[in-house]
Amino acid sequence: MAPMSGASAPVDARAAVVSARRLLARLRDVMAGGGTPQHRLDKIVRVIAPEMMAEVCSCYVMRPGDVLELFSTVGLNTDAVHATRLRVGEGLIGTIAATARPLAFEDAQTHPNFAYRPETGEEGFRSLMGVPILRGGRVRGVLAIQNRHRRRYSEDEVEILETVAMLLAEQIANGIAGEFERVTGPGVPAMLPTRIEGISLNGGLAEGVAVLHRPQPATRELVADDPDWERHRFDQAVSSMHSSLDALIARTAGFGISESHEILATYRMIAEDRGWLGRIHEAINAGLTAEAAVHRVQNDMSARFAHVTDPYLRGRLLDFDDLANRVLLHLSGRTSLADTGTLPDRMVLVARALGPAELLEYDRDKLCAVVLEDGTATSHVAIIAKALGLPVVGHCADAMTLIEPLDPLIVDADNGNVFVRPAEDVQDAFRENQAVRAERRRAYAELAHLPAVTADGVTVSLNLNAGLLADLPHLRETGADGVGLYRTEIPFMVRPSYPEVEEQTELYARVLDQAGGRPVVFRTLDVGGDKVLPYFEQLQQDNPALGWRGIRIGLDRPALLRKQLRAFLRAARGRPVGVMFPMIAEVAEFEAARDLLARECERLAQDGLEPPPTRVGAMIEVPAMLWQLPAILRRADFLAVGSNDLLQYLFAADRGNPKVSARYDALSPPVFNVFAGLLEQARAADVPVSLCGEIAGRPLEAMAMVGLGFRNLSMAPAGFGPVKAMIRTLPVAPLEDYLQELRHSCRHSVREQLRAFAADHGVQV
């Protein structure tokens, strides 16, 4: 690509702005005129070419199947219109569409991606500049100009053409492509039942009617008459948005989600981002209205992030989308998306993307589920939805196209499915499932305050895995003995900067207060890998799961770890507290981490405060620790097996990769032998061991773990009822004998053998 600076005839910035405004004014007159959409498009390209000092101006429109069709041109052969087609990625025009980026070439025909189409007659034109036509964050076409002689296009000229392309996006959406046969969905008739597959962002089942979240008000005026007035309107809208966010923080204070304050405060900081605001001001200076400028910057960001897979970056793009939509609302004179009329009592919110502030504005009593075309499990909206107990399915392709307002929906977030206009048999199956679930919930509720004791008198401690203050009411609901694992990283991930000791102390104190005297084990900050902090330098790691994460970050940044340990101790206020270090790979790491804790205890004593009774543990996640057990057992007060990571490292198989995740089963002889050996050494050393991975909350797997000797299981709230029902019907002694036999098997899995044992002995699994 040729540099986009230093044009043959330099264009200064002020002249470029004047040229852009003149061109936009002429285009506005064309768009307001009569004629068919095709007629208007032909007039538009004829206006653009001379204003841009080009011999050719062509407009390509995206067609079904990712094909770019030449819809209008001046300078090329008109017979090529609707005849010339390029696939996305084919030729220079296809490359612009594939990358969603403007490109400029002094000598286009020598570029390796150049694709010659003889019917266009373009062989006489050397230079080319093209920009994507963007709307809704998607590429809708390409606008290009060409010149006969070599020409270096300036950055100002690229900016002007991008602004024009935005106006064309509205024309395309409003009817140009509609003149021709067009398929808008992936071959599914509009009113027939269908199923959309996605991924579960928060589990659960729900049935309701669709409410489509359309955050962008219609923008009718695109070209500004008075840029100064448009800048004033935009600045006023941003100020008004800040005020509404403050009011929203106050309204949501009673939700029991302290993290909502930090999330919305993060929004305030993003809304003051100079780069974002500056680009919108530049678009206004180029001649756009405030609304059109916001749209342009939003579309450009969405297109450029379209292929980004990093969950944190995707989540931040959703933040900017949410803010842009909120600014547009305030520009239209409204303050909320949820004030557009009466909403149904059982509503399923359907959106392309959603910000947490937008979600919190809907009536929680009416909202029963969320369906998103985008979304990640670490996004702010997913965190808030989890705290509110809402089933959420993300990555539902074309949901906004396939779902009509008030369509009946069944959301199966456990399996990542959305049933649109479900047939009667699907509805019947769902309601039967719901009835069975309700009956189970009633039965489990009756067990909540009964002891977790096996049929032959063995007591098992059941504890809660938590990561939000909103999780802690489950302690009472489930009858949990305590918090076996409090994940501290979520509050760090939703804040714009590292929280200071005072903020952390307040949060941990509230956790201990809500625990009501039950024991709490805090895991120190476990980030890295797929859990990214916005204020940390993002390293490019070939294998982040084996990279700089967990205790490795804490020991390399001891000041950060010491602040967190200091907060634990101060929050305890004399109460017992548990501290657990993650990702320990060798005893020396545990000793170094425990030494930092000892220093903080000394510091507390120097301040005249008595250090609280503190139990210090290590997570067994790295297989290397299995060969260091005697040493770690002499130094740790307890151990916690993180089975999620331990098993994937043990089998060298990524549990998140569907190609290899089934290569191992937790219910297999190698796993049993590893755990049995660990438990035997821990019993001899009189050191308690807990299990806090996902398998602790699954009845069949939990049954095997109890049979191996685990007496402390920590799990998500949903696992309590099924696991306690299993424990109270389980005879441990015969299971222990049976597992001794299975440990010598060479099978890939002994899952079916354990199911048979449960059936033979009346164990509820």
Phi, psi values for residue 637, rounded to 5° = -80, -25
β-strands 461-466, 483-487: how paired?
parallel
DSSP string across 437-494: HHHHHHHHHHHTTS--B-TTS-B-EEEEEESSGGGTTHHHHHT-SSEEEEE-HHHHHT
What is residue 585's three-state secondary structure? coil
* Residue 753, token pair as written in the block: 């053998």
What distance in Å separates the CA atoms of residue 746 and residue 751, rounded to the nearest whole number? 13
* Residue 563, token pair as written in the block: 């602040």
Q: Which residues are catalytic?
A: 380, 692
What distance in Å separates the CA atoms of residue 719 and residue 698, rounded to the nearest whole number? 6
What distance in Å separates the CA atoms of residue 512 and residue 520, rounded to the nearest whole number? 7
Picking from 592, 496, 582, the residue whose alpha carbon sits closest to that of residue 536 is 496
Residue 693 vs residues 93, 198, 598, 752: alpha-carbon distances, Å: 50, 24, 28, 21
Q: At what angle do helices 290-304 and 227-251 cross, to 10 degrees?
A: 70
Vertex 693, ends 691 and 698: CA angle to 5°?
Answer: 95
Residue 128 pairs with which residues in a beta bridge? 105, 146
How is residue 101 annotated by DSSP? Answer: S
What distance in Å separates the CA atoms of residue 288 and residue 300, rounded to the nearest whole number? 15
- How many CB atoms are located within 10 Å of the residue 368 CB? 23
Picking from 265, 409, 289, the residue whose alpha carbon sits closest to that of residue 349 is 409
Beta strands in 541-613 (DSSP E): 577-581
What is residue 401's three-state secondary structure? helix
* Residue 489, token pair as written in the block: 């990283």
- How many CB atoms are located within 10 Å of the residue 616 CB? 18
Beta strands in 31-126 (DSSP E): 56-63, 67-74, 85-87, 103-105
How is residue 549 annotated by DSSP? Answer: -
The three-state (H, E, C) secondary structure of 653-700, written as one string: CCCCCCCCHHHCCCCCHHHHHHHHHHHHHHHHHCCCEEECCHHHHCHH
Residue whose entry in the numeric block shows the structure tokens 């409204």:
334
